[in-house]
Amino acid sequence: MSIANTSKPTLIGRYEKVIGVLIKYGFADVAAHPPFSRFVPKWKKLVPKHDGRPVTEFTRYERIRMVCEELGTTFIKFAQIASNRPDVLPEELVEELQKFQDHATPVPEADIRSTLEQELGDKLEKLFEQIDFQPIASASMAQVHRARLLGGREVVLKVQRPGIADTVELDIHILKSLARLIEHRFPAFNAYQPMELVKMFETSIAKEMNFTLEAASMRRFEEQFKGNPDIYVPFVYPEFSTEKLLCMEYVDGIKCTDLAALGSIGMTGPQLALKGINLYFEQVFDHGFFHADPHPGNIFVLPDQRVCFIDFGMMGSVAESDREMLADLLLAVHDRDVGGLKKALLRFSWDEEKIDQKNLEYDLMEFFQNYSNIGIEEIDTNEVMAALNSLFFDYKIRVPANMLLLLKALVIIEGVGLMLDPRYNIIENIHPFVTRLLGRKYSPAKLSKNVIKTLGDLSKLASSLPEDLEVVMEKIKQGKLHIEFEHRGLEPLDDALEASSKRISFAVVLGALILGSSLLVIADVPPHINNVPALGVFGFVISGLFGLRWLRSIWKQGKF
């Protein structure tokens, strides 16, 4: 996002707000560095308290959450998205960032009306029979209103909050400044990869703020479940939808956790848990395109017992290769296979060479020993995922963002399942989908397809090999063949050789200086000091100082 058109007073005002909040919650050490330090003098009165308590009584992670809460929409969203990276952030900070609830003060009717007319390009009376300007949901990015189109069709309007795009643009600029500052001035926090987190957030929030992408996700979701009698996807009205406005069919359903209402349509909690979560597993393992925020408020049940997901603003995609890796991981957890789990975790990592595999294996043994005396049905998946996240962080196992989003979504959907059926066990119920996915991976059809592809690659290689060899031989004949190599682990030797060569050169110069001074004294070259040649004395003094400096350098390095 560019800030080229941002007016300077607005940017300065936002900087001052951020700096004030940082200082208020005890982060004056951050505010003391540029570009933030130039705004600090404007804050003459600091209030280092929260709810009547000194901020020093709160942990650093709690204060980070408080800063984000007070700075509003962008920082709250950033914290929520950053909480999806337990492989980068410590567990305590992730727990704090997961406490945010996305509620906001409703936007006044006049502002909503103005936004609707601006987006639709017409007076609302020409398009709608009625609009309820009292929102049924109000979040930091948008709020939702019921309405009725001309002709009587019931719809909901998801309207982006006015001015939110400009605020997000400014705040991303400030977040990048903060990230650069932390990386340069506080290297201990570089392991948290602040700039990468900000860039990930910038990409994610740009998608979330574009409602045309959400409409496209709904159409794709509907297509992948076409013909499935157990699921329903609301219809989108593209003629009334824009980047800042989404118009979709109103669904009159039952909230998935309302057990009494479910009973009125002849459905029990365990039945819904099995149906709904199996539909979710189908999204993940069969289609690789899943709803990334499946909390109870986003899942409804229609009177005919069809399940309806809403709010497609946050979706995830998983490539088939990553699904297979996840299947291997879950299967290893189910079978309590240390070697299999280690192999699965290492396949997730982007830099396997830097991981201490032996210690990782011992930690995995301890991980399974914690569950050795309890049945599979008693395992708390939240606890399992928290333990895996700790391993990701401790061993710096870098996991693709979408995979972490999926792991978090699986924990959420298990929580929904337990609300409906306290005996629900996600690991047992996910097992058939995992084995089916791995079965497809090793099916005769898939193996034969891979063999055919490999043979095709070998055929291409064989056909191009003679020509490639001819090119290599021609370069050898012409003396134009160059070989490049990269040495690793020789840096200490380079440093030692450089230091040795400097010392030898210094010793030669020092010896020459001493020898020259001695010759001046023997030759009795004037002028004299106490009958001793002055130039010789000066040379000995300089030689003595250089010699002492040389000995001091050797002494400091502890090498004699």
- Write the pLDDT tens digit of every residue in 274-304: 999 899 989 988 899 999 888 888 999 999 9
Instruction: For residues 422 and 429, give the distance between their C-alpha atoms in angstroms, rounded to a whole number.
Output: 14
- pTM for the complete prediction? 0.65
- Flag the least confident range among 41-50, 101-110, 145-154, 478-487: 41-50
* Tokens 């994610």 sit on residue: 204
Taking alpha carbons only, the member of 354, 346, 15 closest to residue 177 is 15
Question: Which of residues 60 and 150 earns the better pLDDT score?
Answer: 150
Copy the structure tokens of residue 135: 């929102």
322 is a catalytic site residue: no
Copy the structure tokens of residue 447: 């193996």
Percent of the chain residues topping a pLDDT of 70: 75
Copy the structure tokens of residue 251: 């669904």
Q: Taking the CA atoms of 392, 398, 399 and 402 in sequence, report the sign of the dihedral they define.
A: positive
Residue type, 545: L
Per-residue pLDDT reduced to its tens digit, 499-546: 667 667 767 777 777 777 777 777 777 777 777 777 777 777 787 777
Peptide bond into 527 cis (omega under 30): yes
Please pick, among 293, 311, 322, 328, the residue that the annotation labels catalytic.
293
Element (H, E) at 145: strand 142-149
Residue 341 pLDDT > 60, yes or no?
yes
